[in-house]
Structure 1
Amino acid sequence: MGELEDGHEADPAGRRRRPATVREAKALAHPLRVRILRLCLHRELTNKEIADRLDTTPGTVLYHVRQLVDAGLLVAAPVRTGASGALEKPYRSTGETWWLSFTGVGGESESPPAAAPLAAFQEELGEAGPESVRTFSRFALHLSDEDVAELDRRIVAVLDEFVATDDQRRDRPLHSGLFVLHRPAEY
């Protein structure tokens, strides 16, 4: 993986960070859709399998799956025969969300809306329990806007390396994480 002329990173498959479309940003604005994408990133799942995993109805899942498919973030996998002999239509994540930038979406130059990914992560962590945490770092730093951009760039560059080569580690346990930097309320 290397840096392209425009300063964006590319993975070995040739994907590179690009601005999210308004449709992609809207699709990612709901915690359930964020969770569906994560579940379908490493295995193909049907609406019913997703609904069972997320403790919701297949109809609710179908609505959100359609939003993700329309945005190009989820694709239908080949139809398969289920355990009962019925045909099943599984879905898988395209993995594109990692390579999306939210700066400039909808004419804004702000950071991406974090409510949906934060809510999804809280739900996932709640399901997994506190014993699932492998490592964390809590910190407080004094940073200029330029410092924030540099810290983000460097952390994302390290994560990009791991994301781009994750298919080489599929035999290892799956870990999930979230890097969040925020301004405390008292500032």
Structure 2
Amino acid sequence: MSAGGERRREPRPGGERFEASEAQARALASGVRLRILRVTLDEPLTNREIAGALELNPATCLHHVRTLVDTGFLEAQEPRRGRRGAREIPYRATGRSWYADTPVTGNGMVEAFVAELAQVPADRTDVTMARLGLRLPPEELAEFRSRLAALVTEFHDRGRDPSAEPWSLFLVLHPDTSSRPRD
């Protein structure tokens, strides 16, 4: 807390949106890699700790960690001594993935969302879900997209309060293929 009693928020890394390279887009197309970025967002974790948190084989996890490091989405921190004095390298998400424009072609985000949601205890009553079908003219759809983007960006840019409970939001706006188009 600051001298005035307010909680300090960790600043978000500033950045401009950028077109992801092919390697960066492939890195972000993996649900496992997205989950690695999520678990390393607030604290640096070693490969062993990441593998344990995500129930992955450490060798498989290391492959994904190296891919994220190579593409700039994860960075190695200062080495530390782990169990039995072994040298371990903790990794932390850089926050750059937020600014990467990638083609929406894979199911990586959906896979990460489903895996994370499956870990939420069934007795939690504070999970909010909504599903909405819309029919908006192009100008209203553009307004809807713009307002959603502005709201999400506003909360992203506020930073993270390390003492607050972490929450996750998954939002998709897509053409509804279950409805018949109007003539």
State TM-score, norm by structure 1.
Answer: 0.80
TM-superposed deviation, 1:146? 4.8
Which residue does 2:143 correspond to in 1? 150
- Seen in structure 2, the aligned counterparts of structure 1 residues 158 and 40 have a Cα distance that, compared at 3 Å, is same
2-structure distance, mates of 1:119, 1:174: 19
- Seen in structure 2, the aligned counterparts of structure 1 residues 159 and 141 have a Cα distance that, compared at 3 Å, is same
- Seen in structure 2, the aligned counterparts of structure 1 residues 76 and 142 have a Cα distance that, compared at 3 Å, is same
2-structure distance, mates of 1:147, 1:38: 33
Which residue does 2:59 correspond to in 1? 59
- Seen in structure 2, the aligned counterparts of structure 1 residues 149 and 81 have a Cα distance that, compared at 3 Å, is farther
State the secondary structure of the residue aligned to 2:69.
helix
Aligned pairs (5 A) from 1:115-130: 115-130=107-122
- Seen in structure 2, the aligned counterparts of structure 1 residues 40 and 145 have a Cα distance that, compared at 3 Å, is farther
Q: Kindly indicate whether residue 76 of structure 2 is the aligned counterpart of residue 84 of structure 1.
A: no
1-structure distance, mates of 2:106, 2:148: 17
Query: Which has the larger displacement, 21-30 or 132-141?
Result: 132-141
Which residue does 1:7 correspond to in 2? none
How much is the aligned-residue C-alpha RMSD, in angstroms? Answer: 2.1
State the secondary structure of the residue aligned to 1:166.
coil
Query: Which has the larger displacement, 46-55 or 124-133?
Result: 124-133
TM-superposed deviation, 1:91? 0.5
Residue in structure 2 matching 1:141, options 119, 134, 140: 134
Residue in structure 2 matching 1:186, options 174, 178, 182: 178
1-structure distance, mates of 2:13, 2:47: 28
Deviations 1:90-124 (A, max 9, x none): 1010111111223xx5xxxxxx2251001110011
Number of equivalenced pairs: 168
Q: RCO (CA 8 Å, sep 6+): is it higher in 1 or 2?
A: 2
State TM-score, norm by structure 2.
Answer: 0.82
TM-superposed deviation, 1:170? 1.6
TM-superposed deviation, 1:31? 0.9
Which residue does 2:155 correspond to in 1? 162
Query: Which has the larger displacement, 177-186 or 51-60?
Result: 177-186
Which structure: larger Rg?
A: 2
- Seen in structure 2, the aligned counterparts of structure 1 residues 186 and 14 have a Cα distance that, compared at 3 Å, is closer
State the secondary structure of the residue aligned to 1:84.
helix
1-structure distance, mates of 2:46, 2:40: 9
Q: Kindly indicate whether residue 164 of structure 2 is the aligned counterpart of residue 172 of structure 1.
A: yes
1-structure distance, mates of 2:177, 2:59: 39
Letter in 2 for 1:37: L
Gaps of 5+ in 2: 1-10
